[in-house]
Amino acid sequence: MPVQRRWTLILCVLALAAVAATAASPLVHVAPYAGPITPVTAEYLHDRLDEAAIAGADLVVIALDTPGGLDTAMRQIIKDIQASPVPVAVYVAPSGARAASAGAFITVAAHVAAMAPGTNIGSASPVRLGGAAMDSTMASKVGNDAAAYMDALATQRGRNADLARRMVTEAANVPAQEALERGLIDLMAPDMSVLLERLHGRTVEVATTTIVLDLVDAEIQERPMGPRQRFLKELANPNVAYILMLLGIYGLFFELSNPGSLVPGILGGICLLLALFAFQALPVNYAGVALILLGVILLILEVKVPSFGGLTIGGMVALALGSLLLFDSAEPWARLSLRVMVPVLTCFCGFFVLCVWLVVRGQRRPVVTGPEALVGETARVVTAGAAGSVAKVVMHGEVWDASADTDLVEGMTVSVTEIRGRVLRVGLCDDDG
Per-residue pLDDT of 125-180, as tens digits, reads 877 554 445 556 767 788 888 999 999 999 999 999 999 999 999 989 999 999 99
Any domain includes 232: no
The CATH number assigned to the domain holding 396 equals 2.40.50.140
pLDDT at 276: 84
Q: Choose from 32-41, 276-285, 394-403 the range with maximum mean pLDDT.
A: 32-41
Q: Give pLDDT, residue 382.
A: 85
Asked if residues 149 and 164 have their Cβ atoms less than 8 Å apart, the reply is no
The reported pLDDT for the residue numbered 303 is 65
23 found inside a domain:
yes
CA distance 427 to 279: 69
Give me the domain span that covers residue 324: 237-364
Residue 267 maps to a domain = yes
Q: Which long-range contacts (CB under 8 A, 24 or more apart) does 39-43 make?
A: 39/70, 39/72, 39/73, 39/280, 39/281, 40/229, 40/232, 40/233, 40/236, 40/281, 41/69, 41/73, 41/77, 41/233, 42/73, 42/74, 42/76, 42/77, 42/80, 43/229
Q: What percentage of the chain reaches a pLDDT higher than 70?
A: 83
Alpha helix segments (H runs only) across 334-375: 338-364
User: Over 90: is that where the pLDDT of 98 sits?
Assistant: yes
CATH of the domain at 119: 3.90.226.10
* Domain end point (choices 225, 248, 273): 225
Residues 183 and 70 in one domain: yes
The predicted structure's pLDDT at residue 362: 63
26, 148: one domain: yes
Q: 312 and 249 share a domain?
A: yes
23, 52: one domain: yes
d(CA 198, CA 401): 106
Domain co-membership, 356 together with 390:
no
Report how many domains make up the chain. 3
Taking the CA of residue 301 as centre, how many other CA atoms within 13 Å lie in the half-sphere pointing to its CB? 16
Alpha-carbon gap, residue 289 to 243, rounded angstroms: 13
Q: Could you tell me if 153 and 201 lie in one domain?
A: yes
Segment 169-228, tens digit of pLDDT: 998 999 999 999 999 999 999 999 999 999 999 999 887 788 999 888 889 999 999 999
Domain edge (last residue) among 170, 194, 225: 225
Spatial CB neighbours of 127, under 8 Å, sequence gap ≥ 6: 101, 329, 330, 331
Asked whether residue 212 falls in the same domain as residue 262, the answer is: no
pTM for the structure as a whole: 0.70
For residue 231, being part of any structural domain is answered with: no
Same domain, 32 and 150: yes
CA 54/CA 30 separation, integer angstroms:
15
Per-residue model confidence as pLDDT tens digits over 403-412: 888 888 888 8
Mark which of 313, 343, 364 sits at the end of a domain.
364
**Residue 322 forms part of a structural domain:** yes
Backbone φ, ψ for residue 212 (5° rounding)? -100, 120
pLDDT band at 306 (very low <50, low <70, confident <90, very high): low
Confidence of residue 50 (pLDDT cuts 50, 70, 90): very high
Condensed to tens digits (0 to 9), the pLDDT of residues 13-29 reads 555 444 444 455 899 99
